[in-house]
Amino acid sequence: MSNLTGLLGAALLGMLSTAAFAQGPRGILAHNSANDNKPYNKHDISGIWTRNGSPGGYGGGGTCRDCGDRGYSANVPAPTPVGQKMFDKNKPSYGRLLGSADAAAHPEEPIGRRRAVPPANDSDPYQHCNPMGPTRALIYPDPMEMSVLPDRVLQQFEWGWGTRVLWTDGRQPLIDPDLPVWWGYSTAHWDGDTFVVTTTGVDDRTWVDHYGYPHSADMVLEERYRRTAYDVLELTMTINDPKVYTQPWKSELKQFRRLEKDGIKTVDGWAGLLQDVCAPADEVDLFNKRIRDPAGGVIK
């Protein structure tokens, strides 16, 4: 190797290392000691929160450096026969490549994370811009914003530009709704310092996470949020879905870091969440046809 090539190689390796380690653990923004003594209200969960550590709190290719980052939990309860059939039907493109040496080298991981196929060959509803549904959107590593109103909390996800309404007006969870909907029906209340959200009636075409774990429309999802510092929001979720899983399924702890409004700006200086829509005109008509499908060999 020539000296020049060696120098270039060293520089590139440095860049790779920087890109790999500039973020905090599991992608969350690094701790900022300037926030340590800032006062905060444990019952105020408003603001922009993100699970990713790159500038602006974005994910995309910048996250999932380990496979767990986009997963609900690696501790998956045994499925029911119906649940197994639903799981087998879903073909995700995330995780370790099906049949690869990489997949074989990680037998400790649940099979859901070792069965990826090229995106053009999968069955992921989001590859066609269908709504992600609550659990998957919460796990997705781009920012989300919560706006607290007198009778509800609005949860806006930047990627996909999806909105959930978490009702705090005292209504009871909707049991066995007539019409399941993409984001479900959510009620919420405070239990001490924990904001508890109960969601029912989520359309069963959504996936629990990027790995294609299924749920039924009878799923009852509980989210428990705790603001543990000025700039930290913690979330755990529990899925109760006896039609699909033989036991309740609790998520791993998901941590969000607070982003101030100015933390996201367009090049014009327009601050706040970006209108990051997944539009079929972009995703399906252009990207899928000209990039994703050819890359997967579906279109030669």
Partner 1 sequence: MTRKLTFTWAALLAAALPLAAHHGTGASYDLAHPVTLQGTVTEFHYTNPHPQLFFDVTGEKGEVTHWGGEFYPNPAQLIQGGWGRRRSEAALEPGTKITVTVAPARAGTKVGAILKLLNDKGEVLLGVAGGGPGEVPQGGPSPGPGAEQKPDSEQKKE
165 binds partner 1, rule: CB under 8 A: no
Find all residues with CB under 8 Å of 38, minimum gap 6, and list them: 230, 231
Task: Please identify, using beta-carbon distances, which residue of 12 and 149 lies nearer to partner 1.
Answer: 12
Q: Where are the alpha helices (DSSP H) in the chain?
A: 3-21, 81-89, 101-104, 134-139, 280-282, 293-295
Q: Which residues pair with 49 in a beta bridge?
A: 144, 258
User: Binding segment for partner 1 among 19-27, 37-45, 131-139, 217-225 (CB under 8 A)?
Assistant: 19-27
- Residue 221 and residue 137 in contact, taking contact as beta carbons nearer than 8 Å: no
102 binds partner 1, rule: CB under 8 A: yes
* One of 35, 216, 238, 240 touching partner 1 (CB under 8 A): 35
Helix (H) or strand (E) holding 155: strand 152-157
Three-state DSSP state, 27: helix
Which residues ranging from 72 to 91 are in contact with partner 1 (CB under 8 A)?
Answer: none
* One of 45, 63, 187, 249 touching partner 1 (CB under 8 A): 63
Residue among 140, 146, 128, 226 nearest 186 (CA):
146
Q: How far is the CB of 109 from partner 1 (least distance, A)?
A: 11
* One of 117, 148, 165, 174 touching partner 1 (CB under 8 A): 117
**Using CB under 8 A as the criterion, what x/- string covers residues 169-208 for binding partner 1?**
----------------------------------------
Task: Please identify, using beta-carbon distances, which residue of 175 and 281 lies nearer to partner 1.
Answer: 281
Which token pair is 71?
């997963």
The dihedral over CA atoms of 77, 79, 80, 81, expressed in degrees to the nearest 10, equals -160
9 binds partner 1, rule: CB under 8 A: yes
* One of 47, 62, 125, 134 touching partner 1 (CB under 8 A): 62
Task: Count the helices and strands in the chain (H runs, E runs).
Answer: 6, 10
280 binds partner 1, rule: CB under 8 A: no
* One of 42, 77, 120, 148 touching partner 1 (CB under 8 A): 120
Q: How many residues bind partner 1 (CB under 8 A)?
A: 77
